[in-house]
Structure 1
């Protein structure tokens, strides 16, 4: 297993994003090889994997992390099946109790406005970043990797080409977006355009004040020296601001959820909201935001009712 997993990683390195590869390396070297590396690939069974899962849970391993670790193993074993090294994948049906999903915290429009007003009042340097995510539903990494070359303020659109991630929580790198559907144009509202105009002016002043030390990488949102912002700093700073503004703690990703929640609560059609959020499939939107879609079901049956009523009495169609 140790030899097989090392060879598998070498092949996967050619196609995986650096951040995904770093996670795979971590799971293989720190977890899978120490526990299963001495077992022959052809002799690996469901019982070996069940024992690994039990030992990890007994040691206090987080269930979400363990899910990801076993998913890495399952991916490697699926390739072994594909190449006829195994008849079946013994990790495919590993039973790991899933933790109960905590309720998602989402601001109301009034809370979002209060937050933006507070940021404007103290001239916070990340105010426009947070406002752009609220207005567009961009993912955090996509906003942090946004380049001015991909923004057209006159046409009111921006192009998502990159996402910023940390490799082993150390090196920020720009990679391809999360899914194929993520790589696309996004419309900008008048509020988002104004936020980007303010950011351009803020950056111009900063560049002049910093002088030669400013390293221009064409990024829209940066540190004082022009370098990329670190995702973990953006989250910590958001928490500081919400404390100061006396608002509920949320993740940066919850700003994206605010955009989706607001669209669906405002009767925006499901397909349009899903397209705006750039979900890979419509089912992703319904799975994440199903609790908000009662109005869609009501609209659907009302449409049937209207059609039947009009057919019964054509005078009502007018």
Structure 2
């Protein structure tokens, strides 16, 4: 089946030559200049009617093109963009485009994300590239900016995020056929590696919880809930009593608490669509929630409805982090970020033998690779279990001799043997029943045990 030919773009507007000469009254002659007979005098321009925001139409004029061909190409691009629903001004400044991009993104981005975008655009991108026409912005401008920022001592992470914001804006221009290519791709700076995380051990975790239970029960219950459920900081601070169902042993994550410009507190949707789900409660998490209830029940609580609050007002995320670091110092444990408690939940679950897919669902990750690549930190106990398992295999292979069974008695610790089902008393042994105990190691059914 043949693809239908695209609808031709109407040739709107006109192309003409003009100059900047003025008469005796200091008025521009424009197209009336007698020197335009000289082909080297003046420049080419185009004029076209374009819709304005109020619904009325206005005439857009752009000049400065070296010849008629360039002017007609610019007019053609303008008409093609107008057919797609946007105005592609060939002399549009980068600052004007970035402001329009922010207005478009505000329709479907969170307030916290838009606050970060506006900071990068207003404080970094517009001062550096605002006066450059968008069509003239190229990779040399970006390379010079990145080099200057790094020489001035700016952090690589900050420069990377600024350029990532610009790349997102230019990608939108490419998607709308406003630009033919994104000058910020491929990235000029590689993505900075995440700093190494130093998670607490089991002993340090208990030490912190015991200290905070005696000095600040509110933060003890907050840390206990985050460790045992894997909640994010904003999700735990936004938790309402209506979302806690003690009888079913679950809580529902519906909101996250964030600070816009580190000042205004807002309730937004969770980080991803998969984060808006239910979370199972262990007996330790249920006890922490019981401690926060006024009378030990979930029905008689503060008027605000927040589980963690001060006098009915939600806790500010920045104040929570500062006070959490102060408690770490007083408890004698290393400082860690509150989000690291979520990593701690994953590590403790894997060390306890919980399968990775189950932990991934518990932490409400979108994909299993996210759990495996980012959150599966090795704890000392898990590391020793892995090393002991490898050594156990090699030890048995080293003792194995041809024609002799392998002894499996020296299993590495923390192995969970297969339970044996007792034979009923009324059943007599059969000839095909095994005379030895079943092996402790799955997959080797010809081995014997001692």
TM-score scaled to structure 1, two decimals? 0.86
Instruction: Choose the corresponding residue for 1:122, options 215, 224, 227.
Output: 215
Query: In 2 relative to 1, CA 45–246 (structure 1 residues): closer, same or farther, beyond 3 Å?
Result: same
Query: In 2 relative to 1, CA 60–97 (structure 1 residues): closer, same or farther, beyond 3 Å?
Result: farther
Structure with the greater alpha carbon radius of gyration? 2
Instruction: Choose the corresponding residue for 1:187, options 280, 292, 295.
Output: 280
Q: Is the 8 A contact 1:49 1:94 kept in 2?
A: no
Tell me the equivalent position of 2:305.
218
Tell me the equivalent position of 2:404.
none
Tell me the equivalent position of 2:354.
268
Query: In 2 relative to 1, CA 203–227 (structure 1 residues): closer, same or farther, beyond 3 Å?
Result: farther
Matches within 5 A, 1:89-100: 89-96=182-189, 99=192
| Partner Cα distance (2:274, 2:109) in 1 | 17
Structure 1 counterpart SS, 2:359: helix
Q: Is the 8 A contact 1:46 1:94 kept in 2?
A: no
2:332 matched to 1:239?
no
Q: Deviations over 1:108-152 (max 9, x none)?
A: 122111111111122433221111111111000000011111110
Structure holding more strand per residue: 2
The Cα of 1:237 is off from its aligned counterpart by 1.1
> More deviation in 86-95 or 1-10?
86-95
RMSD across aligned C-alpha pairs, in angstroms? 2.6
Matches within 5 A, 1:28-43: 28-43=121-136
| Partner Cα distance (2:296, 2:352) in 1 | 34
Query: In 2 relative to 1, CA 157–7 (structure 1 residues): closer, same or farther, beyond 3 Å?
Result: same
Tell me the equivalent position of 2:153.
60
Structure 2 counterpart SS, 1:125: helix
Structure 2 counterpart SS, 1:107: coil
* Structure 1, gaps ≥5 residues long: 209-213
Tell me the equivalent position of 2:106.
13
2:97 matched to 1:4?
yes
The Cα of 1:232 is off from its aligned counterpart by 1.1
Instruction: Choose the corresponding residue for 1:162, options 255, 280, 283.
Output: 255
Structure 2 counterpart SS, 1:71: helix
Q: Is the 8 A contact 2:274 2:364 kept in 1?
A: yes
Higher RCO (CA-CA < 8 Å; seq separation 6+): 1
The Cα of 1:84 is off from its aligned counterpart by 0.4
Q: Is the 8 A contact 1:50 1:94 kept in 2?
A: no
| Partner Cα distance (2:295, 2:351) in 1 | 34
The Cα of 1:89 is off from its aligned counterpart by 1.1
Query: In 2 relative to 1, CA 75–40 (structure 1 residues): closer, same or farther, beyond 3 Å?
Result: same
| Partner Cα distance (1:153, 1:4) in 2 | 52
Q: Deviations over 1:170-190 (max 9, x none)?
A: 111110111111110000001
